[in-house]
Chains A and B, each alone.
Chain A
Amino acid sequence: MSIKEWVTMDLDGLELLEVSEYEEKRVQSFVLSKQKRPSVYKNIAIALTCILGITTATAFAFPTVASQIPFMKNVISYFSDDSNRYKNFEIYSSDIGQVQSSNGISVMIDRAVYDGTNVTVSFAVETDEDLGENIKPMQGMFNILGADGSAGSMKINKISENRYIGLATLTPFFENNINPDSVNISWQPKSFYSLSKEREFSGDWSFAFTLTRLDGNIMLLNKFVRSNDINFTVQSIEFTDLSTIINYEQLVSDEIVSKWGSVTPIFEISDNLGHIYKDRSGGGGGIAISNRSGNYLKGSTSIGAIEAGATQLIVKPIAIATLLDGEEHIEVELESIVINLER
């Protein structure tokens, strides 16, 4: 049939298909579920916050030797940077320098940057009382105004008695995938929870600041690799002075989805000079949204700026198929995608 026949279809003369009660219920619960949450993505994004929070935290290792750099400045230098992710953070981020003290705890936002996809914020905390090794802010995610939700992670490390430094990475998700040219960010942690003391230290801190996106160049690719069950496409790469964002799509067969439940990619990313930007350990910013049946996924992953002199970027996707309860998984290694950098 053609569009012409469809357009002129006689709706009264159709031989109607049968519909089960189950189908009716399914449509009804779909419609009602949407009514209660206006944004489809919000819940997914919140779920992702938890997942990414766990996986990315491992990416930051902390140097044991105390540095001589004055406290509460240059926070980023306290985080190890094996994958080059923060190399240019100091140069391209904005100095925020907001400090607030409440109930003997001072919090300072040091620097922050928005590359068009991810927001990275460094901050520091100083306490009068010893809060122990591990602290975390309660109800303390950074809020990006106007975003439907965001995925991200936060890591706080103790650097000396009563002093902590923190780094938060967020990938906001905006309606219709349109990321704005600037973002307004607010942060109002209600308290800091000390894991070792099992106690909350509450206070009143409130920060707000605006970041303008870094200029970037987008390179369209649509390069794909496929295996029997998986079709993986790198759609585009965006380069900024701070970071490199790889946008991808993944299409997997119904068979593999019905067998495994969830298929998500991890990456090995390197260049022709041998620099490694990402190994399998995960980490770094990223967000992925899949459709309801789980066979289509669209996402992005971020690495640091590409080293000068590199002319090719090599992206090797590895699809991880897992049972939804996480008990078992398989890895499907795809061929590497080689991208020539026009620079």
Chain B
Amino acid sequence: MNSNLDHFIVGLKKQKEDALAYIIKMYLPLVKTITTKILFRLSPFDIEECINDVFLSVWKNAHQFQGDAADFKKWIGMIAKYKAIDRYRQYEKQREREHVDELLNHKTHTLLPEHSLLQQEEKTMLLFALSQLSEIDSEIFIMKYYLELSNSEIADYLNLSKAAVDNRLYRGKKVLAHNKRLKELMV
């Protein structure tokens, strides 16, 4: 079973359509479950769009995946989880925006929807780059740079001390520093 899957992961990296079909068959239930749980307040359309987005970005970034079949499940699950959380937070922001008209004149730049939309491509790139780090580091880095959470929020979510999060981010950044493109995105 798993050797079969390994075969298809290689196929996916080579952009083989039968491999895509197989990966969808194997992981659509997982991706659908994760996105539905997180986006339960949004419309079925939003959930569908998120699922599509997950598979499209996995297809486009398959070459970045390293590991075996067991890692692949974790990987695609993590992409689905963070894509969905990101979408949920955008939805929340949108709702707030609709209620807070008077703030407009003061905080104009953050209120343009383009501000978040225009970075979507870059954000996906960042997400995939960070997904290659070791397990705990990748979660921390994704929360920090993809979801843009604060260090104390991350500490709270992962039951770590804030110092531990600071420390891991500091050390991780050194490791990532050789990747120039990534450095630009994280500044």
Contact = CB atoms under 8 A, between A and B. Distances in A.
Interface of A: 1, 3-4, 6-9, 11, 14-19, 23-24, 26-28, 30-32, 34-35, 176-178, 220-222, 224, 235-236, 249, 254, 291-293, 295, 298
Nearest 6 pairs between A and B by C-beta?
A176-B118, A11-B77, A16-B29, A30-B52, A4-B157, A7-B157
15 contacts: A6-B84, A7-B157, A11-B30, A11-B34, A11-B73, A11-B77, A18-B29, A19-B28, A24-B21, A34-B56, A35-B15, A176-B120, A176-B121, A235-B113, A236-B112
Interface string B23-45: 01100111011101110100101
B97 interface: yes
A292 B37 contact: no
- Interface size range of chain B in the complex: 35 or more
B77 A32 contact: no
A93 B89 CA distance: 44
B114 A35 contact: no
B40 to A, nearest CB: 8
A239 B40 CA distance: 41
Nearest to B149: A3
A254 B44 CA distance: 11
Interface of B: 15, 17, 20-21, 24-25, 28-30, 32-34, 36-38, 40, 43, 45, 48-49, 51-52, 55-56, 59-60, 73-74, 77-78, 81, 84-85, 88-89, 97-98, 101, 104-105, 108, 111-114, 117-121, 139, 143, 156-158
Contacts of A254: 43, 45
A14 B30 contact: yes
Nearest to A295: B45
